[in-house]
Amino acid sequence: MTAAGIDYTLINSPQGLQQFADLHRGVDWMGFDTEFIGEKRYHTLLCLIQISSEHGYYLLDPLAVDDLTPFLDIIQDPAVVKITHAGDNDYRLLYRAHGITPANVFDTQVAAAFIGHRYPTSFAKLVEAETGESVGKGYAVTDWSRRPMSDKQIKYALYDVVYLRQLYDIITDKLRTNDRLDWALEECALMTDGDYYYRDPNHELLHSNIARSSKTKDRVFLLRLFEWRRSQAEKRNYSKEMILPGKIIGQLVRGVRGGKESMMENRRLPGKTVSRHGDLFVDFYNTPATPEELTIVKQIQRTTQEDEDDDMIIELLYLLMKYRAAEANISHALVMPRNAIKRMKQEESIRQSILGSGWRRELLGEDFVGWLKHFDRLAMRIEGGKISLNVREAEPVK
């Protein structure tokens, strides 16, 4: 088949997928991308897999082929380099749907951050910057479950993989020239670990501003409310917003304290929602907390004056990080997200991603890593027009 002057093979049967797998046994590389629908759904629907290799271009239809094992085997094969752009989204989808993690990955979005590109950068901008070619405007907001696909959909889908190998060659050469290839591969390798895709089931509660400013009983209510919303969404395969809009959760917390009648009188709460679930919400609020629930809500960090005092130090560290990243011509957004330092106090995973990564330690320097490691005892001073950061001595254990 041909679309936009590109010859491709459509794989829409188990036999076709097996033929593809047999042909690709022993290949050195494979580029791929996916199209999916996540709106109004809890379980993301995988609609299309685009593939490029030394043998050509392919469109794999997962709506027609139930068993993707032959393709997934290649994703897990350490002998085959998988080339993607923003592939963490694709791998996360495959991990959740099939429980697999990739091996030997090279992501052009991640790697480009080590040769001076902003992170994240779009595929179209990267292609134009590195090859001079224009892939046109996106066509992502479309119904990828529709069959047959339109010529425009097919053209858009193919363009997502046509340039992957060319980008791989160009970026790899530049990474070798600036001695950053090992750093880029180390960062890409994070996608091969199942922990990379783990998300705390209580993530929504622990990062809720409402919970942070609430008392224990309200926090327990929120914990139960978030879990109920998630379980209902999963059961019905609806988005969580379709089960309970996030914008009314704050009103629910305030209204439930006065019972169902109080919620019914709140004009900002949908009457249908209160009529249907009000008794359940009141039960969530009044039922005593279990020891397990109390353990969870105690993880929430309340806003304090100490946190506000930390803001200046956090801002200074962030600016220092940006300076060192700019010196190395590496995108600072990849080195450390803006809120990473504050989150390190709560999440060990964030601490390890900064302190435990070889290339970040090398880039930031041992002094910077030491400041992060002892952030709780870090003090800033301004004397004689100079700013200094010092680690206070630890208080003796009584």
Write the secondary structure of 100-122 as one string of H (helix), E (strand) and C (coil): CCCCCEEEHHHHHHHHCCCCCCC
Rounded to whole angstroms, how far apart are CA atoms 328 and 365?
Answer: 12
Bridge partners, residue 11, by sequence: 60
Q: Residues 76-107: pLDDT tens digits?
A: 999 999 999 999 999 999 999 999 999 999 99
- Comparing C-alpha atoms, which of 189, 178, 227 is closest to residue 330? 178
pLDDT mean over 270-277: 96
Which two tokens mark 107? 């992501």
Instruction: Look at residue 395 and tell me whether its pLDDT is greater than 70.
Output: no
pLDDT of residue 303: 58
Q: Residues 222-263: pLDDT tens digits?
A: 999 999 999 999 999 999 999 999 999 999 999 999 999 999
- Name the strand (E) or helix (H) holding 226: helix 216-236
Residue 380's pLDDT band (cuts 50, 70, 90): confident
The number of angstroms, rounded, from the C-alpha of 311 to the middle of its chain's C-alpha atoms is 25
pLDDT of residue 356: 65
Report cis status (omega within 30 of 0) of the bond before 70. no
**298: phi then psi, degrees, rounded to nearest 5:** -70, -15
pLDDT mean over 353-366: 82
Q: Residues 140-192: pLDDT tens digits?
A: 578 999 999 999 999 999 999 999 999 999 999 999 999 999 999 999 999 99
- Cβ pair 87, 72 in contact under 8 A: no
- Secondary structure (3-state) at 32: strand
Taken in order 362, 365, 368, 371, the sign of the CA dihedral is positive
pLDDT of residue 242: 97
Neighbours of 163 (CB within 10 A): 24
- Name the strand (E) or helix (H) holding 342: helix 340-343
pLDDT of residue 351: 65
Neighbours of 309 (CB within 10 A): 11
Rounded to whole angstroms, how far apart are CA atoms 222 and 285?
Answer: 9
Q: Residues 48-77: pLDDT tens digits?
A: 999 999 999 999 999 999 999 999 999 999
pLDDT of residue 372: 83
pTM of the model: 0.90
Which two tokens mark 43? 């379980």
Residue 89 exposed, middle or buried by CB count within 10 Å (0-12, 13-18, 19+)? middle
Report the amino acid identity of residue 330.
Answer: I
- Secondary structure (3-state) at 249: helix
Mean pLDDT, rounded, of the chain:
91
Rounded to whole angstroms, how far apart are CA atoms 296 and 286?
Answer: 18
Which two tokens mark 336? 């450390």
Which two tokens mark 167? 């980008």
- Secondary structure (3-state) at 56: strand
pLDDT above 70: percentage of residues in the chain: 92
* 68: Cβ contacts below 8 Å, ≥ 6 apart: 17, 49, 60, 62, 98
pLDDT of residue 371: 86
Instruction: Look at residue 379 and tell me whether its pLDDT is greater than 70.
Output: yes
